[in-house]
Amino acid sequence: MPRYLDSKNDLVFKKIFGEHPLLLQDFLNALLPLPEDSQIVKLEYLQPEQITSKPFYFRRGIINVKCWNAQGHAFIVETHIFWTTIFCQRIAFNASQAYVQQVAPGKDYRLLQPVYALGLINDIFDPDPAWYHHYKIVNIDNPQRQIEGLQFVFIELPKFKPETSLDEKVRLLWLRFLKEIAGEQEPPAEMIEYPPIREALTISQEAGFSNAELLAYQDVLDAIRTETSYVGEKVALAMEQGLQQGIEQGIEQGKTLERLAIAANLLQTLDDAAIANITGLPLAEVQNLRAQRQT
């Protein structure tokens, strides 16, 4: 039985979609909100991302391509894979960079082409049960009016269920491939019967990867585990600190209420300065308490 590497892994995803343009074209046509008469008919890979010393979770988009539809209109697609919920600012930043860097300063802005940012998230970031999220820049009072330029599509893979009725079968097959295929298994017949996914299955088989690529695959998994652990520790620490602060604030509030109660009982017998000295309350607070009792 063949063993498949996880296609959500940075290295495997790039090997499938970064080296096989026809597979990427089929994948994008299935997942992007493109009208039937505006499907991608041609694409061109843009300059690969620069490998830097930054951590895995700060790297730029996975695959960037320039696409042309049947009418000859061009647009740019940035495709990202994310394993955590901390992604919104990064994908917005990267898509904006892809938009503004098309035109040099002082050049005609009419040369700018729309940018689609496709984010495949292996986590849940929205409490809504929907797993497909499409964002545009719209007029709040009249959503039909929009500013062309940037669109965002986020897909929450853990919430995706094959029985959903959203759109066509091809979309569901590609998302099932991303979500379900990993490890030693026999893929479902409907995946094998669809030629593009059958090719993607062949590419993702562990046997087709060199030792160096398998080591790189593990490096990505280690980076993901490190990031997940780091974020989890930060969240736990923040919750612990918040709980401790809440307890301390509660104790302090209790002490203040106790002082106020004592001060209220002393208003009939002592002056404000004496009450402030006994209870430790600010003189102004004692004076305010007396004024409230007199009204």
The predicted model gives 203-229 an average pLDDT of: 82
85 versus 149: the higher-pLDDT residue is 149
The predicted model gives 196-225 an average pLDDT of: 88
The verdict on pTM exceeding 0.95 is: no
pLDDT at residue number 286: 83
Please say whether the beta carbons of 45 and 64 come within 8 A: yes
Please say whether the beta carbons of 122 and 81 come within 8 A: yes
User: What proportion of the chain, given as a percentage, has pLDDT over 90?
Assistant: 31
Strands (DSSP E) contained in the chain are: 3-4, 40-45, 63-69, 74-82, 115-121, 132-138, 146-156, 183-184
DSSP-H helix ranges across 19-123: 21-31, 88-100
Other CB atoms within a 10 A radius of the CB of residue 76 amount to: 21
Q: In angstroms, how far is the first alpha carbon of the chain from the final one?
A: 86
List pLDDT tens digits, range 193-210. Answer: 999 999 999 999 999 999
Query: Strand 132-138 and strand 63-69: pairing?
Result: unpaired
Residue 54 has pLDDT above 50, yes or no: no
Other CB atoms within a 10 A radius of the CB of residue 294 amount to: 7
Lookup result for tokens 């669109």: 151
DSSP 182: -
The ranges assigned to domains in the chain are: 3-209, 238-294
Q: At what angle do helices 195-203 and 10-17 cross, to 10 degrees?
A: 130
Amino acid at 89: Q
Q: Which residues lie below 8 Å from residue 143, measured CB to CB, with a gap of 6+?
A: none
Stretch among 41-45, 143-147, 242-246, 281-285 having the lowest mean pLDDT: 242-246
Residue 49 has pLDDT above 50, yes or no: no
Q: What is the mean pLDDT of the chain?
A: 81
Q: What angle do CA 201, 205, 211 make, to 5 degrees?
A: 150
pLDDT at residue number 116: 92
Q: Which residues lie below 8 Å from residue 252, measured CB to CB, with a gap of 6+?
A: none
Distance CA 255, CA 252 (A): 5
The predicted model gives 240-257 an average pLDDT of: 65
178-184 long-range Cβ contacts below 8 angstroms, 24+ apart: 178/7, 178/8, 178/120, 181/4, 181/6, 181/7, 182/4, 182/5, 182/6, 182/7, 182/8, 183/3, 183/4, 183/6, 184/1, 184/2, 184/3, 184/4
Q: For residue 159, what are its two tokens?
A: 């919430």
